[in-house]
Amino acid sequence: MLALQGDFREHIAALHAIGATACEVRTAAQLADVDALILPGGESTTIARLLIAFELLEPLRARLAAGLPAWGTCAGAILLARRVPGLDRPPIGVLDVTVDRNAFGRQLDSFEAELDVAGIAGGPVRAVFIRAPVIREPGPGVEVLARLADGRIVACRQGRVLATAFHPELTDDRRMHAAFVALADAALAAEGSAA
Amino acid sequence: MNASTYRLMGRVGGRAVVSSSSGQNGARQGAGNGAGGASGQTATWTVKAGLAQMLKGGVIMDVVTAEHARIAEEAGACAVMALERVPSDIRAAGGVARMSQVDLIEEIKAAVTIPVMAKARIGHFVEAQILQAIAVDYVDESEVLTPADEQHHIDKHAFAVPFVCGCRDLGEALRRIGEGAAMIRTKGEAGTGDIVEAVRHMRALWGGIRRVHAAPEEELATLAKEYAAPLALVQEVHRLGRLPVVNFSAGGVATPADAALMMQLGADGVFVGSGIFKAGADLAADARVRAQGAMAAAIVKAVTHFGDPMMLATVSRGIAAPMRGVSAASLPAEELLAGRGN
């Protein structure tokens, strides 16, 4: 769990609730120890600066290039994207999409909505959007997982990298966390059999 | 016309509207610009308290100009508080301290992409209506400004914009949450650069939380009476072992060590007021700006690595002299801000 700034504690609580092991990552040494990484909600400008200040950006890019499963929620999704208009630091750039920050307006325009997410069985999830981004221009390897009623993309996946514009960690619904843990387990198993 | 008949129902088409309907808590169906297409519900409790969740582990900085706001954002602030004067200057100037000029707040909003907060006087619900109308991201109903109402705080449930309020102990925190505050900050003593009051209030708050958490169920009603707090919120603290909303520390943080101290004492993040833009006061203008940016960045890093003394030593290297400060104990009672609002 990337723990530079944001709501990483809520993610850790969600992971613990489904029996997964989770720890906080603030240094390159801690990053080297994890099998999968969640990038939490928070302020993307703040986290982008801290990634650089604590020399985490390059190690993180290297691990993602080597197949580390990752999931970014909101600010985390912004940081994973390849193209982020207006972000004054380079994003990690592993996900072939454009992400528009604060795409809905200011805090007064933050909202909740019922959302069907591909691969999540059992009905729609309650999706919480807080000063949220939207995803557009998905590249050829990107699978769109969820759209708002007006068609805008709010969840996608490219290989082992997952991005959501909303915050499953702020609700009691653990299906998205379970899906990410399953993705990470499958990745580990694949590497185990390859090795 | 008063607050109980006129409820603020938030924005339609980007403008604040006042509606006379009552009995709603400010949640709206599909009224926002962006959410309409998704039939989303704006201004729910989850959305209001949720922004505070995103600020955690971060530093909210007082800024008085667009230039300050850019320095704060560059240093890694997770939000800025738009003010006309930082608290130490409010303290020095005396007179009546009010909501900042609308133009100044809008200038600061235009200068940064991080959330912008602004202060309203305690009980001044029209200042809060104006701040909602210009779409600030959070309103601080603040004791740093001169109170407008000595009896009543703003009915914060009636607003679509979320509120943060100050507290000195658990009872005060739960009263504010009961009124609709979606985020709490311990008050400390603003504008002093003296951390002692911030520590006192954080210890009092957590002492109360631990006591309620450990108490047997049948004693909660008596504790609610003692803390003068809503029973339902006392029960929630008993269940959670923490406040039901995010809690930052404010009022006296002047160094990276102060910020980490408050984090180790249980804050979710810190507000820094005079501590940044009063640092390096003896330096020439250019050097002073650099020193303030460096102090701001060091405090941000200290909040991230608050539990790692080696890292705290690293981030504390090379920073200029912190604000001079004034001992809170040396101030006469009438100059203390924390006692305003209860």
- Cβ A128 vs Cβ A89: under 8 Å: no
Query: CA-to-CA distance for B182 and B51, rounded, in angstroms?
Result: 9
Q: Tell me how crowded residue A174 is: count the other CB atoms within 10 A of its CB.
A: 16
CATH topology of domain A8-194: Rossmann fold (3.40.50)
A60 CB neighbour count, 10 Å cutoff: 23
When pLDDT is averaged across residues A67-96 and rounded to a whole number, the result is 96
Tell whether B51 lies on the interface with A, counting CB pairs under 8 A: yes
Q: Are A104 and B32 in contact (CB under 8 A)?
A: yes
Helix and strand numbers, DSSP H then E, in chain A: 6, 10
The Cα B183–Cα B173 span in angstroms is: 9
Residue B215: band (very low, low, confident or very high) from pLDDT cuts 50, 70, 90: very high
**A162, pLDDT greater than 80:** yes
- pLDDT over 90 (residue B6): no
Cα A74 to Cα A17, A39, A51, B201, B240, distances in angstroms:
21, 9, 16, 33, 26
Quick one: pLDDT at residue B39? 63
Q: Residue B3 pLDDT > 50, yes or no?
A: no
B11 touches chain A (CB under 8 A): yes
Q: Which residues of B touch A171 (CB under 8 A)?
A: 46
Tell me what percent of the residues of chain A surpass a pLDDT of 70. Answer: 99
For residue A78, give every residue at least 6 positions away whose Cβ sits within 8 Å of its Cβ, in sequence order, or none: A44, A72, A84, A87, A91, A99, A101, A133
Q: Does B203 touch chain A (CB under 8 A)?
A: no
Average pLDDT of the segment spanning B49-72: 96
Average pLDDT over chain A, rounded to an integer: 96
Q: What is the pLDDT of residues A16-49, one digit of tens each?
A: 999 999 999 999 999 999 999 999 999 999 999 9
B 62-81: CB under 8 A from A: 73-79
ipTM metric: 0.94
Active site positions of B, annotated: 119
Under the banding of pLDDT at 50, 70 and 90, the label for residue B321 is confident
Q: Sort strands B183-186 and A37-39 into parallel, antiparallel or unpaired.
A: unpaired
> What does the pLDDT average to over A119-142?
96
Mean pLDDT of A101-106: 94
Contacts of A9 in chain B (CB under 8 A): 56
Shortest distance between the Cα of B326 and any Cα of chain A, in A, equals 31
pLDDT band with cut points at 50, 70 and 90 for residue A195 = low
Q: Which of B51, B300, B303 lies closest to A131 in CB terms?
A: B51
User: Which of B32, B53, B114 is the closest to A108 by Cβ?
Assistant: B32
Which is nearest to B79 in space by CA: B102, B103, B100, B108? B108
Measured between CA atoms, how close is A150 to chain B, in angstroms? 5
For residue B308, what are the CA distances in angstroms to A90, B235, B282? Answer: 27, 34, 31
Q: Which of B47, B114, B161 sits opposite A130 (nearest CB)?
A: B47
Which chain A residues touch B298 with a CB distance below 8 Å? none
Q: Looking at the partner chain, which of B137, B300, B304 has a beta carbon nearest the beta carbon of A107?
A: B137
Q: Which amino acid is at B9?
A: M
The answer, yes or no, to whether residue A161 has pLDDT greater than 70, is: yes
What is the distance in angstroms between the Cα of A21 and the nearest Cα belonging to chain B?
Answer: 21
User: Which residues of chain B lie closer than 8 angstroms to A102, CB-CB?
Assistant: 113
The Cα of A71 is separated from the nearest Cα of chain B by a number of Å equal to: 16
pLDDT tens, position by position, B35-54? 444 468 999 999 999 999 99
Mean pLDDT for chain B?
Answer: 88
Predicted confidence band of residue B34 (pLDDT cuts 50, 70, 90): very low
Residue type, B130: I
Please name the residue of chain A whose CA is at the shortest distance from the CA of residue B58: A5
Looking at residue B320, its pLDDT comes to 82
Rounded (10°) angle between helices A57-65 and A44-53: 100
Give me the residue from A49, A102, A113 closest to B76, CB to CB.
A49
Interface size between A and B, measured as CB pairs under 8 A: 161
**What is the β-pairing status of strands A161-164 and B7-12?**
unpaired
Q: Do B57 and A113 touch (CB under 8 A)?
A: no
Q: Which residues of A touch B162 (CB under 8 A)?
A: 107
Q: How confident is the model at residue B8 (pLDDT cuts 50, 70, 90)?
A: very low
pLDDT digits (tens, 9 = 90+) for A64-76: 999 999 999 999 9
Residues of chain B above pLDDT 70, percent: 89
Distance CA A180, CA A174 (A): 10
pLDDT of residue A191: 85
Smallest Cα–Cα separation from B174: which of B218, B136, B223, B127?
B223
- Asked if A89 has any chain B CB less than 8 Å from its own CB, the reply is no
Instruction: Give the residue extent of every domain in chain A.
Output: 8-194
**pLDDT confidence of residue B335:** 85
Residue in the block written with tokens 């029209």 = B126
Q: What is the pLDDT of residues A166-176, one digit of tens each?
A: 999 999 999 99
